[in-house]
Structure 1
Amino acid sequence: MNFQQFPAGDTIRLILFGAAGAVVAVTIAGAGYAWADSPQFCGSCHSMIEPAATWRQSNHKQFTCTECHLPHDSLAEKLVTKMKTGNRDVYHETLRDYPAALILTQEGRYIIDRNCLRCHSSTVENTAMGQGGQDCIKCHRALIHGRNHSVGGMEQ
């Protein structure tokens, strides 16, 4: 057996240093991802102060914002949607040009409806809602965030 084929001591140290660096990077990324899923993170923006306050008073306060506002079918879809909506939110938060009343996009409505049914499917399965074409927000819009008295990002 020829031991000269194996890496030298410096190479092994470099590989171990790289592996340790990767572990640290993954840990930091995971912690950042978990923090970005938290209501404290979501409620830290000016335009989200009112929605965060009404959520804290709702009967859904045990759930994070992303449990309702992001898709859960796949991690890839969740990450893409999180990046897309996060970038849009940062852009409008920076410009302070959110409308006085925050409005869901069609995609946002679709995601929320799917998530409502993910948790409440047994409640609606024997109703007209269970037959398809659900629009949970149509009747339950004020359930979590009240009547949307948000001031958005516009200056008063």
Structure 2
Amino acid sequence: MKSGKFIAYSAIIALFTAVVLFFYLLDTSKALSYLSTDPKACINCHVMNAQYASWQHSSHANQAGCIDCHLPTDSFVHKYISKARDGWNHSVAFTLNTYAPRIEISADGARRVQANCISCHNRLTGTIRANEDKYHDFSKAKATERKCWDCHRNVPHGGVHSIISAPNNLGVRELQ
């Protein structure tokens, strides 16, 4: 009987320890912030400070946050599937320090950003397509193959070349 009580108490202590550890990790990692739309969630990992600081100085800062450009906007399900996949990939890369000094967007991320550029600037992109022969040189690639940032390279992150070399990377400031 003493052995049974010992096992029961040990199980209760182990469960309690696991619950406390779970909530501690939840708080320490600021995990719940990733469910928000606040761009500050993107700088929970210090490696994104250059991107955040350069975005703050861009024309997009007052109009679009990180998720408006980097996550699907077509459905809640697609948004959170992408958010979970990106979050996992980012947490692994940042925790294990396996990312390159120059952080580059994935092919899937680039597809999402391109779709969101076109969606947000729908009227403008319609005009560009209608007048591509006058205003945009698509001789090197079809209009459908080009990315907005092929020409608009510094939107909205400026000339972010690496973690430590970005214009306006004087630290994070509060937006007014």
TM-score under structure 1 length normalisation: 0.69
Confirm or deny: 8 A CA contact 1:55 1:145 kept in the other structure.
yes
The corresponding residue for 1:69 is 70
CA distance in 2: counterparts of 1:132 and 1:99, whole angstroms: 29
Letter aligned with residue 156 of structure 2: I
The reply to whether residue 145 of structure 1 matches residue 145 of structure 2 is: no
Name which of structure 1's ranges 119-128 and 103-112 shifts more when overlaid on structure 2: 119-128
How big is the alpha-carbon RMSD for the aligned residues of Structure 1 and Structure 2? 2.1
CA distance in 1: counterparts of 2:68 and 2:46, whole angstroms: 21
Percent of pairs with identical residues: 29
Aligned length: 121
Indicate the structure with greater helix content: 1
TM-score under structure 2 length normalisation: 0.62
CA distance in 2: counterparts of 1:60 and 1:44, whole angstroms: 20
CA distance in 2: counterparts of 1:47 and 1:71, whole angstroms: 23
The corresponding residue for 1:100 is 101
Where do 5+ consecutive residues of structure 1 fail to align?
Answer: 1-31
Name which of structure 1's ranges 100-109 and 35-44 shifts more when overlaid on structure 2: 35-44
The corresponding residue for 2:21 is none
CA distance in 2: counterparts of 1:34 and 1:99, whole angstroms: 23
The reply to whether residue 90 of structure 1 matches residue 91 of structure 2 is: yes
The corresponding residue for 2:42 is 42
Q: 1:36 to 1:90 in 2, by over 3 A?
A: farther
Where do 5+ consecutive residues of structure 2 fail to align?
Answer: 1-31, 133-142, 165-176
Confirm or deny: 8 A CA contact 2:33 2:41 kept in the other structure.
no
User: How far 1:44 sits from its partner (Å)?
Assistant: 2.2
User: How far 1:121 sits from its partner (Å)?
Assistant: 0.9
Confirm or deny: 8 A CA contact 2:34 2:41 kept in the other structure.
no
User: How far 1:133 sits from its partner (Å)?
Assistant: 4.0
Letter aligned with residue 125 of structure 1: G
